[in-house]
A and B are shown apart, each in its own frame.
Chain A
Amino acid sequence: MRIADLLRFALRAAAGSPLRTALMALAMAIGVAAVVVLTALGDGARRYVVNEFNALGANLVIVLPGRTETGGVGIGTLSASTTRDLTLRDAAALLRADGVVRIAPLVVGDAEVSSGGRLRTTYVVGTTADFARLRRLELAQGRFLPDEDLERAGSWAVVGATIRHELFGAKPALGARLRIGDRRFRVIGVLAAGGQGLGMNTDELVLVPAASAQALFDTSTLFRILVEARERSVLARVKAQVADILAARHDGERDVTLLTQDAVLGTFDRILAALTLAVAGIGAISLAVAGILVMNVMLVSVAQRTGEIGLLKALGAPPAMIHRTFLAEAGMLSLAGAAIGVLLGFAGATALRAMFPELPAYPPPWAVMAGLATAMLTGIGFGILPARRAAHLNPVQALARGM
């Protein structure tokens, strides 16, 4: 029998009993749709987390003064024992490292901020112009801190959206005077609302030049230095160089802590990938159930078509050919069901994205392929028993059943 004839024959047989066919295809479709939607959900969650981390800066090396074995990224985890100051000169020296795009020193403290009689206490961050590029901060108004000498204590300030609102209300903020502690600043920019950086909501920040913040808080050390590598692949090299440069500057003492987010990100990535696989497995169970349904329906089909099978044998079809026609039928139905399932799954994923816009719930291609393949395999796998039964029917008894 020619392949084209085999497929056509199987297709005609499937079309001959629409209800049976539809039932089987539906079971497969539901199974595949479950796989597609569940993996879209799992992979969406994984991508969401990875993106969030990337927004924080996946190719950052964060330098903390003092040696700590563990350390976080947020403001809350200050270093344990500071042996030697981490200075602005140290920060500037890191630009020499190969693969470093930019650096941003951070001085952080809280201070009273006031303007025109209004006052509140908030975080003040001392940094440089590159901080905005490094954190990809957006400005609502004005401009960010100017590119100037690291050690110059300029009197510029950039404020977050909430601070702007609380201190200036409806009045124009740009150009306004601002008092931080006992020093005066001029507002040159307002950050766009909703920015995130290093676990801080930038809406409540006031940013000033690093040297100014050091003077303000009367300190000579830095809270952090953020070092941005060209790409994630050179992160390890950059980290080693940063360690060497700082050790050379600190009389050979390795007295700083270097953090990268690679490890944390890698862990989350792995956990969520495993989770996605697990939900894919749950979806695959529904495919197995669909497979059993396929087997039942095919067994009914063999019973109903006993006379026809006898006829095919009488007309010279060897057992293997009968076997193939039934497998082709199961395979085609499974494929059709799986295709419908993929469409349903994509529709479901689209609905998920509409419901949770922040979740990139796209079905991963591997899951779609695996869903289709599993559907085909279960369909054909569970089709083997009925096909074998058909192939080994006794032709005389089969013919006695009539058509």
Chain B
Amino acid sequence: MSQIELRDIDRVFEIGDTRVHALKSISLTIDAGEYVAVMGPSGSGKSTLLNILGLLDRPDRGQYRLEDREVGALPPDQQAAVRSRRIGFVFQSFHLVPRLSAAENIALPMVLAGIAPAERRRRVAEALADVGLEARAQHRPQQLSGGQRQRVAIARATIMQPAVLLADEPTGNLDRATGAEVTALLETLNHGGTTLIVVTHDPALGERAGRRLLMEDGALSDDRRR
């Protein structure tokens, strides 16, 4: 039994009278602990796929089973609970709350989940150590470099120990060396057992993944394992 099962997923955007078929009958299974790179030209539907995997968007057709549970059609509150406990997001532009410190940004998912402050402090300290930012706990996002920001964002994405980590061009805003550091950090998490699904334009990054999905015009054109 696979961790993620997509069957016949369609996603159509309608703007005025134009219809954009962003995902066309996508069927896909991903096992727990896999490292998947999603690649393809701009506008091919990579982000749309990732948003549906992350329950941020709903497919117009098809089924999405996550850990043996049909989640694609759950009501918003239950989808939020699944996002909270099972899914972590890493964004290209970090998406840190500017008024909160690094430690507070990392703690945010636990705050939303109602976890007690003592437990939060313990886990934030651990997470800061894991991403090598102990000294930056009290810094605001503006006081951090791009790479440091993305490491804070990764710590935040994993603080609830999700089963799946979704990253949409996580190194897109970083230089090559910093990008490599962030990639290494994500891969460490993957080695720990977390399923890692990364959208990327960077062929070098794609080469590192255990499995590469190629998208073209809303369809999966290639699915290659190393």
Contact = CB atoms under 8 A, between A and B. Distances in A.
A16 B80 contact: no
Contacts of B56: 313-314, 395-396, 399
Given A1-B114, A313-B56, A395-B56, A403 B98 contact: yes
Contacts of B112: 1, 312, 315-317, 321
Given A316-B84, A317-B112, A403 B96 contact: yes
Interface residues of B, number: 30
Interface stretch (A5-13, A225-233, A377-385): A5-13
A403 B81 contact: no
A317 B85 CA distance: 11
Interface in A384-403: 395-396, 399, 402-403
Given A9-B111, A316-B85, A307 B77 contact: no
B95 A307 contact: yes
Contacts of A396: 51, 56-57
A320 interface: yes
B93 interface: yes
B54 interface: yes
Contacts of B100: 12
Contacts of B84: 315-317
Nearest to B100: A12
A12 B111 contact: no
A395 B50 CA distance: 13
A230 B36 CA distance: 94
B160 interface: yes
A7 B108 CA distance: 14
A395 B54 CA distance: 11
A307 B116 CA distance: 26
B130 to A, nearest CB: 18
Contacts of B97: 308, 311, 403
A320 B109 contact: no
A281 interface: no
Contact of B93 (A12, A315, A395, A402): A402
A318 B81 contact: yes
10 contacts: A2-B114, A310-B95, A314-B89, A316-B84, A318-B80, A318-B81, A320-B77, A396-B57, A403-B94, A403-B96
